[in-house]
Amino acid sequence: MIGDDVKVTGLTGSNVSALKQLDHELHGTVHPSGVLEVTATTATFAGPTADAAQRLRVAMEQLAKVHGRRGHPIHSLQAVARKLERKATLENVKWAEAEAD
């Protein structure tokens, strides 16, 4: 992990499988997912957290065109996207608190 990259932890086997499928199916497309590395329980995304969450949502939209919006892999990716979005919100709160001090 370098610079502003973001790591999501506590992923399930289904989350990991969906991320790998996303990376495989969308690799090299106009909307790259930003997934840098996937392990058994973690994923590392390129860039700041809010940007990573947005890229994942865009990539999910591309994948939904092929697989539909229900079931695997989209259902499993929703949890990963929520983790990124929660992390981005917490970072914004911490930044705002630091600015207020």
Contact 53, 77 (CB under 8 A): no
Confidence check: pLDDT of 100 > 90: no
Task: Give the residue among 79, 68, 65 at the shortest CA–CA distance from 18.
Answer: 79
Report pTM.
0.84
Cα–Cα distance list, 57 to 51, 64, 76 (Å): 10, 10, 12
pLDDT at 30 over 90: no
Instruction: Decide if pLDDT at 1 tops 50.
Output: no
Q: What spatial distance separates the first Cα and last Cα of the chain, rounded to whole Å? A: 30
* Coil, helix or strand at residue 42: coil
Distance CA 2, CA 13 (A): 25
Over range 47-76, report the average pLDDT. 90
- Residues in a beta bridge with 38: 43
Residues 61-72 as b or e (16 or more Cβ within 10 Å = b)? ebbeeebeeeee
**What pLDDT sits at residue 29?**
58
68-89 mean pLDDT: 92
Domain boundaries, the chain: 6-100
